[in-house]
Chains A and B, each alone.
Chain A
């Protein structure tokens, strides 16, 4: 079974530029999460989707971050404009349907963003 795919794996941008990350979850997984992991910290949830609807985006800095999952499968996370403190690994995770699945989340390899 294919795992969670993410691209790009690495990205270096200058502050105030824009960047987008892409995620393809495990086939059939209805729930998709985006996390931000700063060096030395655990992953922090940014946004959770159930199919193409947002379950929780309370920790997403909406002045600069946006995310969508238009067809309930792939998702993109965008930062515009980027700040130095956005340097982190952006992890995408998926899990089975909220109502039927367990708590295990399957993570992609992440995108390592460096903002200079």
Chain B
């Protein structure tokens, strides 16, 4: 089983739609969780951290369910510029190492 599993998509949604991505992780000892965004042929960049209480950053909402080892990302009012691959990321151990999922590809259509 992969350490971090994501639905690869692709998700093709119209502008203004709400879209949700899910992710599961296998290491119950993981402490920190993130969503990174990767544009086509670019490097990954941190989108947001995921906290146990859930957190929101503008149109983006991240949720964590430790009991189910499940992380989600909700994007409301999708914009064309949201088109990218979204990587679910979990820390591995105490050395601040990150394990990346394979990513979910999102395309927002005009």
Using a CB–CB cutoff of 8 Å, the interface residues on chain A facing chain B are: 31, 33, 40-45, 48, 55-56, 91, 95, 98, 101, 103-105, 107-110
User: Which residues of B have CB within 8 Å of A31?
Assistant: 96
- How far apart sit A91 and B45, CA to CA, in the bound complex (Å)? 12
Interface residues of B in 1-31 (CB under 8 A from A): 4, 8
- With A56-B95, A105-B98 known, 13 other A-B pairs at CB within 8 A are A42-B87, A42-B102, A43-B44, A44-B100, A45-B97, A48-B97, A95-B96, A103-B34, A103-B96, A103-B98, A104-B34, A107-B44, A108-B43
Complex contact B96–A91 (CB within 8 A): no
User: Which residues of B have CB within 8 Å of A103?
Assistant: 32, 34, 49, 91, 96, 98
Rounded to whole Å, the gap between the CB of B102 and the closest CB of chain A is 5
Task: Count residues of B near A (Cβ-Cβ below 8 Å).
Answer: 21
Q: Is the interface of B mostly helix, strand, loop or mixed?
A: strand
Rounded to whole Å, the gap between the CB of A77 and the closest CB of chain B is 16
- How far apart sit A48 and B94, CA to CA, in the bound complex (Å)? 13
- How far apart sit A101 and B99, CA to CA, in the bound complex (Å)? 18
User: Which residues of A have CB within 8 Å of B99?
Assistant: 45
User: Which residues of A have CB within 8 Å of B103?
Assistant: 41-42
User: Which residues of A have CB within 8 Å of B87?
Assistant: 42-43
Complex contact A110–B43 (CB within 8 A): yes
Complex contact A98–B95 (CB within 8 A): yes
- How far apart sit A45 and B4, CA to CA, in the bound complex (Å)? 14
Could you give 21 example pairs across A and B, Cβ below 8 Å? A40-B8, A40-B102, A42-B103, A43-B44, A44-B100, A45-B97, A48-B95, A56-B97, A95-B96, A98-B95, A98-B96, A103-B32, A103-B34, A103-B49, A103-B91, A103-B98, A105-B46, A105-B98, A107-B45, A108-B43, A110-B43
